[in-house]
């Protein structure tokens, strides 16, 4: 598709179409606009030629407003921008990021750019990308390869372009960029000094790469930091996913039977927030310890096949595939709601559901009704992708503030220590985790006690 074949609505002054049929844009980084405060730290040019591939540069002003709002509510990241990230260590480095391209992640890209890095971003989910955020980032000089709902080959090519940016460091989500670097794009490996991983799924993949000797650089498991998984996975996923399900369906949660697939940190949050909205919660698990924990927390526990017969709303968060599939669809009640809160769209077996159904229709935005041969209707949310971000606005800003503080300091730690690290998956040092928590407490005006010398001595002694 070339520029002559674009519909008139897709034409934007100063842009030409790229090989994907999206817009390759020459955008004004200054623009004469009143920019968010962070822009004052960015070097401006009257005209900035960016290789970004985005949908519509005209959406930049709306995206700027959303990024500015997120930035106003991220005090921890703002504090780090002035402290650790202000030490000059990012200056001139190339950072490649695959992220859910919405306002909060846009602000992280801006913070790294303000610290002196050259930043390239692509989306980590085809349905979570916000075109106005992409336009705003491109207008400020971030290299963006993303648009909402690209074709699968476009989505893959966006990731490849981000790797071809030749990064020094990677901020990954689901290990997609790391996987490319270790397979089809190995020629870019020598320059990469390290990566930070956002998700449980990504950490699992990178640990598997370490185990078979494939991993070629150190990775910080940002997901495993306490300031990430205790808040982002539990409270962020819990609140945002349950809110998304309620909003997309416009149905009441109270009194309904909600089946939560998996009782990791995300599953704990989903169960807690569903229960908080009055739902009767059932948990399914394969891990006996987690199953026992769910039982002790007050939830019913049973196999998915049993739960499928009684559940009204199903939400998965296991990081694995085929959690809900044909045998479960066949026994579900009419009108059941299917949602996924895991990283990839493989937990609810959409291919099996489509093969089973006699018809498929979008009955509400991001709600697809599959009619089965016996007349029962099953409703899939956000095409089986991450429901809280593909079908809504994602985690609360304050939660992501902690997560991105972890990502920023993971990157900062790698920059200062990669020479002494092995190609392994590491946890963020505990003292850095604690520093993030202390900054957050300070922003909340919360003070805590400190151990006395006597208490410290007692804790480190084996004598009475």
Task: Give the pLDDT confidence score for residue 327 in this predicted structure.
Answer: 98
Residues 363 and 437 in one domain: no
CATH at residue 70: 3.40.50.1480
Residues 197 and 308 in one domain: no
pLDDT grade, residue 329 (50/70/90)? very high
**Mean pLDDT, range 130-139, rounded to an integer:** 98
* Number of domains comprising the chain: 2
Rounded to an integer, what distance in angstroms lies between the CA atom of residue 143 and that of residue 95? 10
Residues 339 and 306 in one domain: yes
Residues 165 and 264 in one domain: no
Residues 56 and 105 in one domain: yes
Domain assignment present for residue 447? The answer is no
Domain carrying residue 165: 3-227+394-442
* Tens-place pLDDT, residues 398-439: 999 999 999 999 999 999 999 999 999 999 999 999 999 999
CATH at residue 381: 3.40.50.720
Mean pLDDT of the chain: 90
Residues 215 and 245 in one domain: no
**What predicted TM-score, i.e. pTM, was given to this entire model?**
0.85
Token reading at 381: 């949310």
Residues 160 and 14 in one domain: yes
Q: How far is CA 448 from CA 161, 182, 396, 442, 444, in A?
A: 47, 45, 25, 10, 12
Q: How far is CA 401 from CA 59, 104, 144, 343, 394, in A?
A: 25, 8, 22, 20, 13
Domain assignment present for residue 453? The answer is no
Strands (E), 320-464: 337-340, 359-364, 367-371, 377-381, 425-426
Report whether pLDDT(51) > 70: yes
Q: Residue 430 contacts by C-beta under 8 Å, 6 or more apart in sequence? A: none
Strands (E), 216-310: 219-221, 257-261, 280-284, 300-301
* Tens-place pLDDT, residues 304-317: 999 999 999 999 99
Domain assignment present for residue 158? The answer is yes
Domain assignment present for residue 416? The answer is yes
Residues 61 and 104 in one domain: yes
Torsion sign across C-alpha atoms 269, 177, 107, 339: negative
């Amino acid at each position: 598709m070339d520029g002559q074949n674009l519909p008139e609505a897709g034409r934007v002054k100063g842009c030409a179409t790229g090989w994907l049929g999206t817009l390759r844009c020459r955008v004004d980084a200054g623009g004469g606009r009143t920019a968010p405060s962070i822009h004052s730290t960015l070097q401006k040019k009257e005209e900035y030629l960016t290789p970004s591939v985005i949908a519509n540069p005209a959406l930049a002003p709306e995206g700027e407003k959303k990024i500015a709002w997120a930035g106003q509510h991220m005090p921890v990241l703002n504090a780090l921008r002035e402290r650790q990230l202000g030490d000059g260590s990012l200056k001139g480095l190339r950072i490649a990021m695959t992220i859910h391209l919405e306002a909060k992640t846009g602000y992280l890209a801006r913070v790294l750019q303000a610290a002196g890095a050259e930043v390239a971003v692509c989306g980590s989910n085809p349905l979570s990308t916000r075109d106005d955020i992409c336009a705003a980032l491109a207008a400020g000089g971030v290299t963006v390869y993303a648009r909402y709902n690209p074709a699968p080959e476009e989505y893959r090519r966006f990731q490849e372009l981000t790797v071809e940016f030749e990064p020094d460091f990677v901020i990954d989500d689901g290990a997609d960029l790391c996987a490319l670097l270790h397979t089809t794009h190995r020629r870019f490996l020598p320059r990469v000094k390290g990566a930070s991983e956002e998700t449980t799924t990504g950490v699992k993949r990178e640990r598997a790469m370490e185990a078979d000797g494939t991993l070629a650089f150190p990775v910080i498991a940002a997901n495993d930091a306490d300031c990430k998984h205790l808040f982002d996975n539990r409270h962020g996923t819990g609140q945002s996913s349950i809110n998304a399900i309620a909003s997309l369906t416009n149905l009441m949660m109270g009194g309904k039977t909600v089946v939560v697939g998996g009782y990791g940190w995300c599953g704990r949050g989903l169960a807690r927030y569903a229960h908080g909205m009055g739902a009767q919660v059932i948990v399914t698990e394969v891990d006996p310890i987690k199953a026992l924990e769910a039982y002790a927390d007050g939830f019913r526990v049973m196999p998915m096949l049993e739960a499928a017969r009684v559940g009204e709303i199903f939400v998965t968060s296991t990081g694995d595939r085929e959690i809900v599939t044909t045998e479960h669809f066949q026994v579900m009640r009419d009108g059941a709601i299917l949602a996924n809160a895991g990283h990839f769209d493989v937990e609810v077996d959409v291919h099996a559901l489509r093969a089973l159904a006699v018809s498929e229709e979008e009955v509400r935005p991001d709600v697809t009704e599959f009619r089965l041969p016996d007349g029962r209707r099953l409703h899939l949310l956000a095409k089986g992708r991450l429901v809280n971000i593909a079908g809504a606005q994602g985690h609360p800003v304050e939660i992501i503030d902690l997560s991105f503080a972890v990502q920023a300091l993971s990157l900062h730690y790698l920059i200062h220590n990669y020479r002494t690290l092995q190609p392994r998956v590491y946890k963020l040092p505990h003292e850095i985790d604690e520093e993030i928590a202390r900054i957050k407490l300070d922003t909340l005006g919360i003070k805590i006690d400190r151990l006395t010398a006597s208490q410290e001595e007692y804790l480190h002694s084996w004598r009475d």
